[in-house]
Amino acid sequence: MTMRVISLNVNGTDHSVQVGPLDRLIDVLRDQLGFKSVKEGCSTGDCGICAVMVDGKLVNSCLMLASQCDGRRVLTLEGLVNDLSMKRLQGSFIANNAAQCGFCTPAMLMASWDLARHKADPSEDEIKVAISGILCRCTGYYQIIDSVREGCKRGTT
């Protein structure tokens, strides 16, 4: 296989990484760059556990080839560690026990943050749509929906 070097900006930092033609974004983020919030669940795009933002759009990193990200901006949960909206959402997830096993939590937080930046007071249906691509096997979603609603509202006061 032919390797090539790509450049991508992850969480505001430029990186040059060597990738093969079949290397996925998730593998580069986790294995080469060390961003462990990006989890692998199904490897087929069905569970959404690997969700990250690429150029402002929520995507499943297990379905995206790393070479597709050449010259693009990628945002992981680690890149939002100082973001006030994310801190509110994280606090709400903790207060509502929405992060039971924690496996889906990074992706749920990314999807929730994406919603919060577009909608200050989302309806329950809007929240359900925003998180619909991410599977959770622990909470039954009620705590997550409550957490997102509270986390978004806290951002408006």
Q: Are residues 140 and 86 in the same domain?
A: yes
Residue 144 belongs to domain with CATH number: 1.10.150.120
Q: Are residues 119 and 102 in the same domain?
A: yes
Q: Are residues 41 and 13 in the same domain?
A: yes
Is residue 77 within 8 Å of 106, Cβ to Cβ?
A: yes
The per-residue pLDDT for 154 is 62
Q: Are residues 15 and 60 in the same domain?
A: yes
Range of the domain at 117: 82-154
Count of structural domains, the chain: 2
Q: Are residues 67 and 88 in the same domain?
A: no
C-alpha neighbours within 13 Å on the C-beta side of residue 66? 27
Residue 36 belongs to domain with CATH number: 3.10.20.30
Is residue 72 within 8 Å of 8, Cβ to Cβ?
A: yes
Over residues 50-73, the pLDDT tens digits come to 999 999 999 999 999 999 999 999
Over residues 25-45, the pLDDT tens digits come to 999 999 999 999 999 999 999
Q: Are residues 29 and 46 in the same domain?
A: yes
Closest CA to 18 of 36, 38, 33, 40: 33
Q: Are residues 54 and 38 in the same domain?
A: yes
Q: Are residues 94 and 43 in the same domain?
A: no
- More confident position, 120 or 24: 24
Question: How sure is the predictor about 157, in pLDDT bands with cuts at 50, 70 and 90?
Answer: very low
pTM of the model: 0.93
Question: How sure is the predictor about 137, in pLDDT bands with cuts at 50, 70 and 90?
Answer: confident
